[in-house]
């Protein structure tokens, strides 16, 4: 695992945008896993700010987002799909048919998870996935606990995770969904390259444990220690001393 420290979130976001754009240039059919949350906002801003000349053509890229809430109305601003439209999809020339997303309002959620897993496999697997990390060490919505799920699944969100998503739902906890669909640990770990990004002092403990602690289901991000090509990008505040 490689750690890359940056002075601040902007420098980190810029470096990540450069890396992703270079990956697209090298492989126009890149299959890219993407996160939501506060941490990647500056990264998406950097991507939006790049002209076509600066960032390779997205027309053949495929994306798969990590997770989505269960049972949030199609038009709701809190949906991760809505976040991605606002932050990235509306601003680059990704083909709508190349956007992979979990449907949290599908009639059969188990079938939806199986469909998603198959769609990623049919695309040839993820070439590169960008991940955030929860203060509790979750990646995607793989929450800490006595066991973890390998594949895309339905999951119950823990209180800290619901709290950190409150802003998406008018700051009202009762509106934050209790459940979500998420890529599983194997879905993530089978990506050829993994980049985890962490900014701010609230992440420093999770980052320290991820890098040097035991590999444990109680800190799902610790499994990245097993990945042959994992990079952890941190700003100064999230960087363990
Ligand atoms: P955050 O979420 O970027 O909003 O802190 C990260 C995560 O929960 O994966």
| Alpha carbon of residue 142 to chain centroid | 11
State the closest ligand 1 atom to the C-alpha of 161, by its place in the atom list counted from 1: 8
Q: Which of 67, 139, 164 to mutate to test the pocket of ligand 1 (most atoms within 8 A of CB)?
A: 164
Distance 58 CA to ligand 1 centre (A): 25
Write the pLDDT tens digit of every residue in 206-225.
999 999 999 999 999 999 99
Residue 27 has pLDDT above 80, yes or no: yes
Q: Which pLDDT score, from 0 to 100, does residue 231 have?
A: 98
The dihedrals phi and psi of 69, each to the nearest 5 degrees, come to: -70, 155
User: CB 114: neighbour CB atoms within 10 A?
Assistant: 14
Write the pLDDT tens digit of every residue in 52-67.
667 778 999 999 999 9
Domains for the chain: give ranges and CATH numbers. Answer: 2-196+212-232 (3.40.50.1360)
Distance 134 CA to ligand 1 centre (A): 5
Nearest CA-CA partner of 115 in 36, 28, 187 = 187
DSSP 103-131: -TT-S-HHHHHHHHHHHHHHTTS-SEEEE
Residue 80 has pLDDT above 70, yes or no: yes
Positions marked catalytic: 67, 136, 138, 143
Ligand 1, residues at Cβ distance < 6 Å: 37-39, 132-134, 164
pTM for this entry: 0.96
Binned at pLDDT 50, 70 and 90, residue 72 comes out as confident
Residue 125 φ/ψ region, left for φ over 0, alpha for ψ in the -120 to 50 degree band, beta for the rest: left
Q: Which pLDDT score, from 0 to 100, does residue 117 have?
A: 98
Distances (CA, A) of 177 to 97, 113, 162, 181, 240: 27, 18, 7, 11, 32
Write the pLDDT tens digit of every residue in 130-189.
999 999 999 999 999 999 999 999 999 999 899 989 988 999 998 899 999 999 999 999
Tell me what the mean pLDDT of segment 115-127 comes to: 98
- Helix 9-26, helix 41-48: angle, nearest 10: 50
Q: Which pLDDT score, from 0 to 100, does residue 53 have?
A: 66
DSSP 228-240: TTEEEEEEGGGS-
Q: What angle do CA 102, 107, 108 make, to 5 degrees?
A: 75
State the closest ligand 1 atom to the C-alpha of 132, by its place in the atom list counted from 1: 9
Q: Which pLDDT score, from 0 to 100, does residue 75 have?
A: 77
Choose between 168 and 84: higher pLDDT. 84
Distance 53 CA to ligand 1 centre (A): 30
Tell me what the mean pLDDT of segment 114-121 comes to: 98
Binned at pLDDT 50, 70 and 90, residue 113 comes out as very high
């Amino acid at each position: 695992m490689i750690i890359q420290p940056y002075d601040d979130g902007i420098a980190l976001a810029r470096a990540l945008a450069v890396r992703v754009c270079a990956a697209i240039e090298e492989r126009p059919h890149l299959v890219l896993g993407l996160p939501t949350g506060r941490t990647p906002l500056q990264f998406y801003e950097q991507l939006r700010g790049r002209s076509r000349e600066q960032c390779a053509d997205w027309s053949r890229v495929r994306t798969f987002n990590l997770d989505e809430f269960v049972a949030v109305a199609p038009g709701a601003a809190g949906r991760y799909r809505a976040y991605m439209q606002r932050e990235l999809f509306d601003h680059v020339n990704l083909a709508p048919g190349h956007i992979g997303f979990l449907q949290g309002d599908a009639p059969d959620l188990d079938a939806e998870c199986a469909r998603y897993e198959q769609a990623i496999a049919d695309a040839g697997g993820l070439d590169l996935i960008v991940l955030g990390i929860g203060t509790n060490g979750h990646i995607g919505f793989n929450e800490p606990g006595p066991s973890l799920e390998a594949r895309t699944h339905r999951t119950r969100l823990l209180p800290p995770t619901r709290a950190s998503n409150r802003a998406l739902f008018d700051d009202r906890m009762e509106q934050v969904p209790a459940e979500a669909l998420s890529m599983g640990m194997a879905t993530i770990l089978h990506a050829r390259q993994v980049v985890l990004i962490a900014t701010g002092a609230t992440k420093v403990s999770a980052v320290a444990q991820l890098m040097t602690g035991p590999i444990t289901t109680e800190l799902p991000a610790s499994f990245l220690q097993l990945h042959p090509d994992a990079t952890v990008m941190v700003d100064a505040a999230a960087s363990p001393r």
